[in-house]
Each structure stands twice: as structure tokens, then as C-alpha cells.
Structure 1
Amino acid sequence: MKTLFTNWIRLNKLLFLLLALLNFSAISAQEKQQDTTEVEKLDEVLVKAVRVDAKSPITHTNVTKKEIAKRNLGQDIPILLNFLPSVVTTSDAGAGIGYTGIRVRGVSPQSTNITINGIPYNDAESLGTFWVNLGDFASSVESLQLQRGVGTSTNGSGAFGASINILTDAVTKEASGEISNSFGSFNTRKHTVKFSTGLINDHFEIAGRLSNIASDGYIDRASADLKSYFLQGSFVDDNTLIKAIVFGGNEVTYQSWFGIDKETLESDRRFNPAGIYTDDDGNTQFYNNEVDNYSQDHYQLHWNQRYNNYWSTTVGLNYTYGRGYFEQFREDDDFATYGFEELVVNGETVNTTDLIRRRWLDNDYYVINASANYKNNGLDMIFGGSFSHYDGDHFGEVIWAEFSSQSEIRDRYYEGNGKKNDFSTFAKANYRLNDQIQLYADLQIRNVNYETSGINSNLTQFNVDENYTFFNPKAGITYQVNDNNDFYFSYARANREPTRDEFENDPDIEPEQLNDFELGWRHRNGNFSFNANGFVMLYNEQLVLTGEINDVGAQLRRNSGESYRAGVELEAIIPVTPKLTLQPNMTISTNKNRETIVSLNGELQNLGSTDISFSPDLVAANAIVCQPLDNLQMSLLSKFVGEQYMGNTENPESKLDSFFVNDFNITYTLETKTIFDSIVFTGLVNNIFNEKYVSNGYFGSFDFEDPNSPTGITTGFFAGFYPQATTNFLLGVTLNF
């Protein structure tokens, strides 16, 4: 820790010295930059340190605000990204609202780095991203970039398969307002109000959003009630942008993380076992408040300064406060689990009870980012650093018990704490060697310290004190053959620490390492474009999904020794006519553990090379976009995901079948001359051919005594499935003024 803070102090001294020098340079410059009135360019500086441009040797896709708006009817951001290359999405509730997830190139969600305005968003301990806490956040997104592979150096936990960096709403010059409402299947509705004052006195803007999304869910009782807000105040000058941003909200989601077995999938695919219990009369009941209830508030302050034609700096501060719980009814739980003492009731010893418990998270997260950018005709260089501190309390309460023994309400039956410090510095540069060759280099050093104390939810002492220092180099080259074609090649290394769950399950867990090689060709000719990219991702101790889940539905991972992912990604935009465009993409890959050793029927067996879990060999998508009128657009969106295993043993019982799903999207804009500038009508029919498919699940094994087995032990297997919604629709109207 001493070394960590010493390095941080040194970095601050360096940055303050740099800012002083740059200020002196700006004052003494003979020529002040004149072409800086475009506000959006200053907004984009917020994410320049974590994004790449079109010529960089990094595989990426950009998504604009306009593209997001076409299907933004309440579904979470992962679902809106479903048709991008190599992407597979899933929804616990089945309809894209509530708990959703995204996998890119088959890599687990924990391995996708998420930033918002350059601020890390991944949960510090689980490394996952809980999109449910960002209800209707798509309505406040200016643009986002999905980088596949390791990508460029970023803030927070490094990208280990993909990164998504989000830029929130840009400053607008003109005052505006928006009222958006949508309704659809499963009693889904979204209500959004947005406003912007525009630039007041050419310098100040206040903008904001209030949203409420609610849905009953496709899965029984998998309801979601998401309330959120976004507010920003901005000051902009010719060379200065200062933004104060506050966003957050509250989510109440009925649990649907248990999935269902194969027999139930065939007989009642919407069944939800969460909250099930048997009352005193022997009747099956469901506890009506088996919910996840969590609030999260983010406070960001950003200062972008352009000093002259060459230098600019960015400083970002963040504080996030998260708190909440999930509530469960528990039937016949042992007293010992909660520290209760045995009771004698009517002459009988009582040591079990029905009860209701809450398991809490209460955390604080602080981040400071700083970067400086130097750019001239041939060189674009960025260097800077990021420091974050996380402090999270984990505790459990019993709020009601049929037999409560000596306990008092709100007694904590376990209590622990986790602290994490993450410090990184980086330097990256694009250098144009000549008119054809551009070189890219990126060096990052990252130090992570993670400490835990107290008792975990398994009621065992949980003490971790680990410190990791990672060196992540990256390099690449882009060769521009002509105005229509360029080729690129890049190499990148990434290292990532284990999560809290992984330390709990295996005290000897190892960090994972990835060496990523990307080779690509980009072709453009007018409105036609074609991109081809080959990748080889070589892993050491990759933390692959085992297929199993814990008692709160989180997927478990373990080290897998040596493994690899290799494949080809193809994407194109094909204008068939001025009114009709095709937008296909396809990923063909092989994803293998080089050696898999498991215990089967009481004996260790080497299965050799096996498929990595949740890694289909084929993922493809296509959009047929028809625009018969300037204000009318219709799209047929298709997605195919090949078969995949939910475990790493290629067990037939763990296989998810391939699926092919089609959506239909229509938007019509009515220009008016009344109090509204325009009225936008949007329609979305998901799964128009009523495909009954499953995009996610879990798989595990158990041993039982068997006198007929040579070893006396037989291994059994279990599987669970998360069915997705059949045909459903969403309709929306947006009033712009």
C-alpha cells in the first residue's frame, strides 16, 4: 500500500507540473486555436483515453445515439447491442428488462470492461456489470464503442475479451424537450421525460432525464420496477468543458435467477421457482416479496481543457454510493445457520424455523482519472492514470422468524468487508510514419490490492490480502493500401485478478492472462463497407465459466490452465438500392481448453481438449433495412447463435441448442409545426416467428454412493435453463419539442 500511494503522489506531482507547463505554453502561444466551437468535440475528449479511431489496429464497432433510439423502448443496453458482431445476450426475466447479460466472443460478462465517461463501472469485487442498476440509461447515451479482444488500455479492471465505453449526452446549443412513452407485452411500460436548456449566455447548459420502466416479465413473477434519473450541468468555452453529472436510481426486481430443469422447460417454460414454499396446510405458495432491491447513485465531475492546437487534458472525479439487499423466504432453516439457540416449545426441541432474511451490500466507490493528450499532424499521444478505492460492507439480517430464539430484529448473522485499491498508469500513441503506415503502441502498468475481513455469507471466516502488479503492453500497425482499403495487425496482453466469489471458492485461485493477436482488413467504397478480422486469443489460467451457479444465481468460474479462442469476424454494409441496405455480420470460431481433468464416478479422468463453456462456434446477425421514405424506416433483424455447452466437459446434458430469432423494427417521424418539432412513432416485434429458445443456463455434477459402481461412487448431473420470450411487442411515441 505504501508503494501504491507513493506512486500515486508522484503521478499527481507530474500531472500538476504538466498542467502548469501547459498553461504557460497556452498563455505564451502566438496563435490561439480558433476552430473549437464544436461542443461535441470537447465532449468526446471525455472518452478519448479509452477509445480508438477508425484507423487504429483495434477491432471495434461504434454505435451512435441515433442508432440506439430506433429500438430504445425500455430494454437494457445489452439487448440493444444484440446484433453487433460476436455478441450473445440473455435475460433472466426473458424479455430484456431486469437482469440482463452480454457475452462477446464467448467470454464471460465479468471479462467485459465497462466505462461511463471514462469512469470504471464494473463492480469492483465481482467484476460484473449490473445493467439493471442503469434503468433507461440508453436514453442518456450519446455514443458507445464496443472493442472486441483486449482493445486499448482502459480504466478499472482490464478488458479480457471486450470493452464497452459509453459517452453520456453531449452539450446541446439549442433548448429542447422530450416526452417518451412506450407500452408492450407482459405489461411493459416506459415513461421518460428529458430536457435541455441549451446554451445559456453561450456558456451554460442544464439537462436532465427522469425515467420509470416497469414490466411483469415473460417468466412468472419476474417483475421489474426501475426508476432512474440523469442530471448534468455544463460550462463550455472555446477551449474548456466542465461537466457535473449525477445519475442513478433504484431497482426492485423479483428474483428469477434459479432457472428451471428440462422437464419443466417442456411443460411450463414460464415457471419461476423463486419464493416457493409449503404452508401449514400443505399448499404450495410463493413469497410475494422475494426481490432484489438496490439503489445506486453516481456523482461525476469532468474538466476538459484544450490549451492550443497540440495539447489538451482531462480530469475526471467520481463517487458512487450503492446500497441494497435481496430478500428471501427460507423454509425450515437450521438455527445454527443464524446463531440461534435451541428452543423447547410444548415439550419439544425446536432447532429449525421458517424465516425471512435480507443479504445486504453497502458500498462506496471513489475514482480519479487524469490524462494529457498531445496531437500534431503525425503523432497522437495520450498518457495518464487512474486510481480507484472501493469499500464494501456485506451483511445479513433476519427480519422475521417463526421461532426467533434469543435474536432481535435486525441482528446481523454475518458481517464482512471488502476493500480494493486499483491504480494504473498508461501511455499510448498513434504515429503516422508516412501516408500509408500508422504505428500504434500502448503500455500500461496496473496495481491491484484486495483485502477482505469478517464473516462471509457461508458463515466462515473470510480473509484475503492479495496484491497484484500487471504489465499490459500493446502494439499494432495499420497499412493503408489506398483510400478504400487498409490492413491492420495488433498484439495485446491483458491480466486480470480473481473475483470475491473465486477467492471464496478457491483460496489458491490464480489471476488470468491473455495474449491477443488481431489481423484485419477494412474496405470502404462509397456507402459499401466490408470488414474482416481474424483473432487468436491465447490464455493462461483463463477463468472460464464452470457452468455452475451459486445461491444467488451468479455464474462460477475456475482456472482452466492453457486455453484459446480463435476465429474470423466478418461484417458488411451493402446498399442494394438507395432505399434498401443489408448489414450482415458473422463470427466463426473455435474455443478450446487444451486439457480438461475432472472427477467422474470417483476417479480423475483426463478428457483432453474440450470446448469452452458458453462459446458457440457460429454467431451471425443481419439487418435488412428498408427506407421507402425519408421519415419511415423498417428493419428485419435476424440473429443466429450456434449450439454451445454450459460446461467444459462436452456432456450432452449440458448442451444448449442453436437458435435463430427474428425481430421487426419500424420508426416513423412526423414533422409538425405545432408545439412539437416532431413526433416519432416506434414499433418493435421481438421473435416474430415465435421461436422457443434458451440463451443461457447452468450445469453441474454431484456424486452419490452406488454399490453397483466399481468405485462405489456414481456421478450425476443437473442442468437448468433460462427460457427467453416468445413473440412479444413494444410500441412507443416520442414527442420532441
Structure 2
Amino acid sequence: MKNLLFALVVCLMPLQLLAQFNLSGRVTDAATGSALPGASVIIENTNTGTTTGPDGAFAFQNLAGGNYTLKVSFLGFEQATIAVNLQKNTSLQLTLTPKTLQVKEVTVNATRATEKSGTTFTNVTQAQIAERNFGQDMPYLLEQVPSVVVNSDAGAGVGYTGIRIRGSDITRINVTVNGIPINDSESHGTFFVNMPDFASSVEDIQVQRGVGTSTNGAAAFGASINIQTQRLSREGYAETDNSFGSYNTWKNNVRFGTGLVNGKFAFDGRLSRIKSDGYIDRASSDLKSFYLTGGYYGDKTMLKFVTFSGREKTYQAWDGVPEDKLKTDRTYNGIGSYTDENGVERFYDNETDNYQQDHYQLHLAQDLLPHLNFEGALHLTRGLGYYEQYKEDRKLANYGLAAVTIGNETITRSDLIQQKWLDNYFYGATYALNYSTEDNSLNTTLGGAWNRYDGDHYGEVIWARYASASEIRHRYYFNNATKTDFTIFGKASYQLTDKLGLFGDLQYRTIDYEIDGEDDDNRNVTQQVNYHFLNPKAGVTYSISDDQSVYASYAVGNREPARTDFTDHKTQETAASNQPEHETLYNLEAGYKLNGATALLGNNANYSFEAGYYYMDYNNQLVPTGELNDVGSPLRTNIKDSYRTGLELTGTVNLSNVVELSSNLAFSRNKIRNFTEYLYTYDADYNVEAITEVDHKLTDIAYSPAFVSSHKLEVQLLKGFKAAILYKTVGKQYLDNTSSDERKIEAYQVMDLRLRYTIKPTFMKELELALLVNNLLDKEYVANGYTWTELYTGDTTRYDYNYYYPQATRNFLFSVGMKF
């Protein structure tokens, strides 16, 4: 019997040795998570090798079982050597670390999350940005990121646009470009209309959801958007993209680069123009921008200057469409409306917003020791502009103008045209000292920033029907604001074992903010505040297997109130009244990740899946309650207890780059535990007669849909020709915090179609023709809105005034891209 068993084993051994398996995987940048197309993957001691595809994927078919050593290399990255015991079909996730600084670009490692951070993030690659970039603003290029909802004042994605992530608007989303803060220091908002076509100069974007890791600038209270501009191109190039579409929308740009000159220098640039009439009446946009950069790339030193600028002129569409007009005239725009001498409604032809913003960045990266480097930057942002408005029957006294006497008549009111100006400078420095051990088991960063904002706010009357004794450009208010923001943080990730990693992050931030002068309603808003915040974060990651991992993190964030929270709480007196408190967020994130490949789905078939849970607990969150200040401006008030919690699911299947299916779903619960609403009762002269308080329990936070999903199915119909269906769903949203169906945005679903055809003719590197059909099913929907409520003496009816921002029905954009 023993001899028989021995003989059987000997006979079966050749069969085992002849067993064949597939070995596949994906190669990415360890710093950014971006795919590395064209990376070399070689099986050592054989003649077998391959290069990665556009998504960083590679595959070897029909390999005999046994031990192999892979060598993976890519220009500018450290070579990786991986031992594999191949006993079954195996998929690998391989990361390469940037090598020396001679090919490194301006880095954003200090403010980015990695797989070791234990937090929730999505990396958007240059290819993903380019395939959607037909000229719409940046928020529309991020629409496929989980929990993202976008909207457009003009209705078609050009001009003023908005983005919310997990229900948090842009004032709660930290935005940086190359680690430099972009959020306005006072409003905390980011106005992408001031950065037209900026996406054409972007290398990649990381969207962190929740508090995320420590960053520079405004606190991340819903998410952060970390933008990296284009990296060094070793070869010279010239490119142009040109789009035309509905509503007379045009986009034209040229991009160029020298490649490396003398092996040390490189220069890149872009010029862009975007114009659109908009879907909403008179919601036109005229946008211009440029991007220029020049750099020195040495063996241990990189010095690079980056400048970009945007100039916008948009006809205002901020007021939205009254609810009663949605069904009869959904493109109505009432801004600039006035009545002529015949009682006919007319519109002022220059009711426009005009602004220019110039950015200057000087970046230095220096290798100090083999595993120690320094990254620093100086920056300056210059903003200047105004918006112009026609105002009917305004009190001259409110503009510091004396009454006008004509004969026996004293005139105290006049039609006039006003301009409200912003004139500001934002400058400072960022820094980061990075250290990693030779085996990369320990990575540490000591970083931060010092930033200073100096901004003037003032208004001028440029015309009045009755101008009194005023001079040309009569200035009727002025105030100056300064803000100093200092941040220092330390981060460390440590690989405790091959499977278990730990992450720690501690940030200290101090803010000094001063306002001096009068606001546009003649109130003295002079005041000064100081804040000191300590924001700890910690995370853990665990690798279940080569293709599965789990993570968890806990973070604390603190955020100062915005400018209007201070100015709107200010009384006519010199002292502040009911000064708002800062907000605090306690954020738990946990998730599971799966990445792999399988022969069951065909050669070069890859798949990924991620499930994430979050809990965001707010203390003293600032929300609008219906309360008004002493001149009728709406107030935001601190509420003690509110939270967001949810589940985000993301999955992708890619079949040899022929078929790609991706989906993400976000389920959330967004609640205020106790909320007091304030209702104002007005008499016949519109004076406040009474204030009624209404208590609510467990209401929904405004603008926070319980369900958001995005889906993409892209198929390569023939070589170079791809067709994609994009489908977006957004659940019901409330316009205020009362959960009333009388004040809500209806749920909506939108389908887009995208076609792209790429060829490589002999006379140029590449020619791409692309078509984007937005809202393919021609749905009428709104994506944003606002509301206010009034009561009147002797009338028990509650009057809700709802305004909405309708989005365009079916429309298209066609583009031609050429690369030389």
C-alpha cells in the first residue's frame, strides 16, 4: 500500500508542475494612488515582461505554478521587487514610491491621505478629469465621486456652480492647489468661476471625505479637495481643445510645454476662453484664464514657479426662479428688473459680476538626506472685482446722500446703480519636512502654513437719478478685514507588522481675525476675535490579504465662524452681540477595500469594491434658523447637537478596457436633535410686531439628501471609440431645517451620454472627437434653492417664499482635441 501511494504521488507531481495560472495586477503611485500607465513589469530570470495599460493594469497568462520574482519599474520611481508563490490565479496591487526630486513635481504629499492613513478618500486621475472636461466648471468634473451633488446658477454648468459633499457645501470643504489654500479667508467658500478651465492644467485630484488628514487653510468639515497641477513632461508638446454646444457655449484653449531643456529646465503654459449664454435668461458667462509654469529640476533640488489667473464676467443669476414660475417660465431671471415710465418690466443690461483673481506660487523641494526631504512654498493671491446692480426707489440717506430739493418738492429716494467691491491680498508660506525609513515602514511629516489675508470691502454709487451733491463713484461704505492663520501639524504612519499599520496626526491652528469699519447697511461691524484649535486624528489599517484590507480612523476638527456670522450678529453699537461660537466635529470613519483580478471575467479583468461607514457628530454647528438681525439679515445660530451618519459603497469592474462599469451609492441620515425655528410677524408697515418660536425635534439638516448615487457604463465599441452612459440620482432635499415638504427640492435622476473617438493620424500625435449629451432624457429638475417665511398681523396663514435653480433640459457639448 505504501509503495502504491508513493507511486501515485510521483505520477501526480508532473501534473501539479504543469498546472497553469494567471498572474495580474495594477501599479499605482504610492503618494497619490494614481495609475502608472507604461510601467515595466518583468519576471526575473526569464524573457517574460510586459507594460501596464492606461489604468496601470498588467497580466501574465498561463504561468506554471511556482516561485517568481517580479521587478516593477517606472521613470522617476523607485524600482520594486516582489516575490510571488504562484499556486492559484493571483492579483497584486503594487505601489511605487517617487524616486529623487529630479523628476518630482510640486508635491502635495504632506496634505494627502494614503492607504496607510485609515481615512476615506477618492483619487481622480488626469484621464478621468479629461474625459469629462468639455468646459463645465470643476464641480461637474467631480460629479462621479461618492456623496457629491452639484448645481449651477445658470443651469448648464458654466458660471457660478456649487458642490456639496455629504450634504456640506463649499464653505465647509477645504480646497488646496499644490498644498496652497484656495478657500476665501472670510466666507470660507471657493469660487471655481474664478478658475475657468483650470482642470486642463490639473494632474490629479484627491477628495477626502469627512475631516480627513491635516491640511492647510480652512477646516474640512465635510470634505477636502486637494488639487495637484500638471507634473513634469519630459517631452515637448502642443495641444488644443475646442468645444461648442447648447446655449452658444464655447471653450477654446491651447496648451504647450517645452519638455526638459538641457535635462534641467521645463516650461508649460495654457490659454483658455469659455463663453456661454446660459440656460437661464441672461445668465451669460465670459471667462478667460491662463496657466504658466517654469521649473528647475536638479538631482536633489526642484524649484518651480507657478502662476495662474482667471477673469470672469457673469450676468447674475443668484436669485433663482420663484416657485410659482417654475411651471410657466422656468428660465425666468428677475435680477436687474425695474419698471419703466410706462409700467413695463425691463432689465438692466449690466447686472453683472466682474472679478479677477491672480495666483502666484514658488515651490522648493530639496533632498537633505537619503530619506529626508523638505518641501516649501511661498504664495500670493490677488483678488479684485465688483458686482453691479440697478436698485429702484432707494433711500438716499442709506447711501450717505442728502435729500434733493426741486422747487417745493423734497426728494428722499432715487433709482440708482451701485457697485460692491472686493479688493484683497492673500499671501503666506507652507512647509513640510518628510522622513521615511529605508524599508518605508515609517513615514513622518512635520508641516504647516502661515497665511495672511488683507481685504477691503466697499460700495460705490456710479449713477443716481437724483444724485444730490455726490461726486462720481460716491463711496457709501468701507470696511477692512485682516486675518492671520497659522497651522502646524505632525503626521506619522508606522507599519507595525506586514499586515497592521498605525497612523497618527496632530494639528495646532491659531487664527486672529479683525474687521474695522461699516458694512453696506451702515452698521459699525468693527470687532476682533482669536481662536486656538487642537485637532487630533488617529487611524489603523489591516491587510487581510494581498487584495483585501480594512481601515478605521477617528478625527476631531474645529472651525471658526464665517464673516457673515460676525457681521450679521453685530448691532448698531460698538460691542458685538451674541457673538457666534466655533464649531467642533468628531468624525469616525471605517471601511473595507477589495481590489483584484479574475480570469472568470476574461483576460486583464480587474475589479474593486469599497464599503465605508461614517459618523460625523457636530457640536455647536452653525445653521440658519429663520432668526434675523436688527436690520433684517438672516442669521446662522449655533445648535448644540446634530450629526451625519451614512454608508458609502463603491464598485468597479473593468474588462480588458473594453467594458467598464462603475457605481457608487451613498445612504445617509442627517439630523438635528433639537431645533428652534423663529417666525416673524409683520404689521402693515412691514415692522416686526412679534417673533414666534417653534420647537422641532430630530429634523433633517437642510440640503442633505438621504440617498445619492452615480453610475457609469462605458463600452469600447471599436478600437478608439468609446460610448458611456452616466446616471445620477439625488434624493429629496429640504430647503430649511424643519423637514417640511412645503419647502423642499424634489428627488431627481439625470442621465448623460458621452461618446469619444480617438485616432492617431500621421500628421499629429492624437485627434479626439467627443460628444457629451447632458440630461439625455430631457428631465425638468432643480438642484438647489432657498426659502424664507413671513407671517402678517391678522392673518393666520404661513407664507413660504421658495426660490429654485432649474437645471438645463437636454443639451449637448461637442469637442475636438488635438495633440502635436
Give TM-score scaled by structure 2 length.
0.83
Residue 685 in 1 paired to residue 765 in 2? no
Residue 730 in 1 paired to residue 803 in 2? no
Instruction: Give 1:403 deviation, angstroms.
Output: 0.6
Instruction: Name the SS for the 1:66 alignment partner.
Output: helix
Aligned to 2:244: 183
Residue 664 in 1 paired to residue 753 in 2? yes
- Tell me, in whole angstroms, the C-alpha distance in 1 between the residues paired with 2:78 and 2:698: 61
Name the CA shift for 1:183/1:545 in 2 (closer, same or farther; >3 Å).
farther
Specify which of 708, 727, 750 is matched with residue 638 of structure 1.
727
- Tell me, in whole angstroms, the C-alpha distance in 2 between the residues paired with 1:502 and 1:374: 41
1:430-459 residue CA offsets vs partner (Å, 9 max, x unmatched): 100010100000000000110000011121
The 5-angstrom pairing of residues 315-714 of structure 1 reads 315-376=376-437, 377=439, 378-506=441-569, 507=577, 508-526=579-597, 527-544=606-623, 557-575=636-654, 579-600=658-679, 602-674=691-763, 676-706=764-794, 709=796
* 8 Å Cα contact 1:547/1:646 also seen in 2: no
Specify which of 248, 270, 286 is matched with residue 225 of structure 1.
286
Instruction: Name the SS for the 1:653 alignment partner.
Output: coil
Name the CA shift for 1:389/1:704 in 2 (closer, same or farther; >3 Å).
same
Instruction: Give 1:682 deviation, angstroms.
Output: 1.4
Aligned to 1:215: 276
- Tell me, in whole angstroms, the C-alpha distance in 2 between the residues paired with 1:495 and 1:383: 20
Instruction: Give 1:107 deviation, angstroms.
Output: 1.0
Specify which of 144, 147, 150 is matched with residue 83 of structure 1.
144
* 8 Å Cα contact 1:39/1:236 also seen in 2: no
1:135-170 residue CA offsets vs partner (Å, 9 max, x unmatched): 000001010100000000000011111000000011
Q: Which has the larger radius of gyration?
A: 2
Aligned to 1:25: none
Instruction: Name the SS for the 2:325 alignment partner.
Output: helix
Instruction: Give 1:597 deviation, angstroms.
Output: 1.2
* 8 Å Cα contact 1:520/1:531 also seen in 2: yes
Moved more, 457-466 or 323-332: 457-466
Name the CA shift for 1:281/1:303 in 2 (closer, same or farther; >3 Å).
same
- Tell me, in whole angstroms, the C-alpha distance in 2 between the residues paired with 1:412 and 1:43: 50
1:484-530 residue CA offsets vs partner (Å, 9 max, x unmatched): 11010100000000011111222421111000001100011121100
Moved more, 727-736 or 536-545: 536-545
Moved more, 627-636 or 272-281: 627-636
- Tell me, in whole angstroms, the C-alpha distance in 2 between the residues paired with 1:267 and 1:193: 42
Name the CA shift for 1:166/1:40 in 2 (closer, same or farther; >3 Å).
farther
Residue 145 in 1 paired to residue 206 in 2? yes
Residue 54 in 1 paired to residue 137 in 2? no
Q: How many residues align?
A: 696
* 8 Å Cα contact 1:396/1:457 also seen in 2: yes
1:590-624 residue CA offsets vs partner (Å, 9 max, x unmatched): 00001011235753222111000000000011000
Residue type of the alignment partner of 1:592: K
1:324-382 residue CA offsets vs partner (Å, 9 max, x unmatched): 00000111111111111111123211111111110000000002001100011210100
Aligned to 2:18: none
Moved more, 37-46 or 452-461: 37-46
Residue type of the alignment partner of 1:154: T
- Tell me, in whole angstroms, the C-alpha distance in 2 between the residues paired with 1:393 and 1:158: 23
Residue 300 in 1 paired to residue 388 in 2? no
Instruction: Give 1:628 deviation, angstroms.
Output: 2.9
- Tell me, in whole angstroms, the C-alpha distance in 2 between the residues paired with 1:451 and 1:696: 33
Instruction: Give 1:700 deviation, angstroms.
Output: 1.4
Name the CA shift for 1:549/1:375 in 2 (closer, same or farther; >3 Å).
farther
Give the share of equivalent positions with the same residue, in percent. Answer: 46
- Tell me, in whole angstroms, the C-alpha distance in 2 between the residues paired with 1:253 and 1:366: 27
Residue 716 in 1 paired to residue 799 in 2? yes
- Tell me, in whole angstroms, the C-alpha distance in 1 between the residues paired with 2:560 and 2:98: 43
Residue type of the alignment partner of 2:566: F
- Tell me, in whole angstroms, the C-alpha distance in 1 between the residues paired with 2:628 and 2:778: 29
* 8 Å Cα contact 2:106/2:363 also seen in 1: no
* 8 Å Cα contact 2:101/2:299 also seen in 1: no
- Tell me, in whole angstroms, the C-alpha distance in 1 between the residues paired with 2:289 and 2:634: 27
The 5-angstrom pairing of residues 45-194 of structure 1 reads 46-194=107-255
- Tell me, in whole angstroms, the C-alpha distance in 2 between the residues paired with 1:525 and 1:246: 41
Aligned to 1:290: 351
- Tell me, in whole angstroms, the C-alpha distance in 2 between the residues paired with 1:102 and 1:488: 27
Residue type of the alignment partner of 1:705: T
* 8 Å Cα contact 2:105/2:232 also seen in 1: no
Give TM-score scaled by structure 1 length.
0.92
Residue 195 in 1 paired to residue 256 in 2? yes
* 8 Å Cα contact 1:548/1:700 also seen in 2: no
- Tell me, in whole angstroms, the C-alpha distance in 1 between the residues paired with 2:207 and 2:545: 26
- Tell me, in whole angstroms, the C-alpha distance in 1 between the residues paired with 2:319 and 2:595: 47
Instruction: Give 1:558 deviation, angstroms.
Output: 3.3
Residue type of the alignment partner of 2:394: D
1:98-135 residue CA offsets vs partner (Å, 9 max, x unmatched): 00011000012200000000000000000001010000
* 8 Å Cα contact 1:119/1:367 also seen in 2: no
- Tell me, in whole angstroms, the C-alpha distance in 2 between the residues paired with 1:135 and 1:371: 29
Instruction: Give 1:83 deviation, angstroms.
Output: 1.5
- RMSD value, Cα: 1.9
* 8 Å Cα contact 2:101/2:301 also seen in 1: no
Instruction: Name the SS for the 2:466 alignment partner.
Output: coil
Residue type of the alignment partner of 1:500: R
Gaps of 5+ in 1: 1-32
Instruction: Give 1:545 deviation, angstroms.
Output: 5.2
The 5-angstrom pairing of residues 6-45 of structure 1 reads 43=104
- Tell me, in whole angstroms, the C-alpha distance in 2 between the residues paired with 1:422 and 1:630: 53
- Tell me, in whole angstroms, the C-alpha distance in 2 between the residues paired with 1:43 and 1:547: 51
- Tell me, in whole angstroms, the C-alpha distance in 2 between the residues paired with 1:43 and 1:704: 65
Instruction: Give 1:313 deviation, angstroms.
Output: 0.7
The 5-angstrom pairing of residues 251-266 of structure 1 reads 251-266=312-327
Instruction: Give 1:715 deviation, angstroms.
Output: 4.2
Instruction: Name the SS for the 1:561 alignment partner.
Output: strand
- Tell me, in whole angstroms, the C-alpha distance in 2 between the residues paired with 1:467 and 1:293: 32
Residue type of the alignment partner of 2:530: N
Instruction: Give 1:37 deviation, angstroms.
Output: 8.9
* 8 Å Cα contact 2:612/2:647 also seen in 1: yes
Gaps of 5+ in 2: 1-76, 80-96, 570-576, 598-605, 682-690
Moved more, 637-646 or 47-56: 47-56
Aligned to 2:602: none
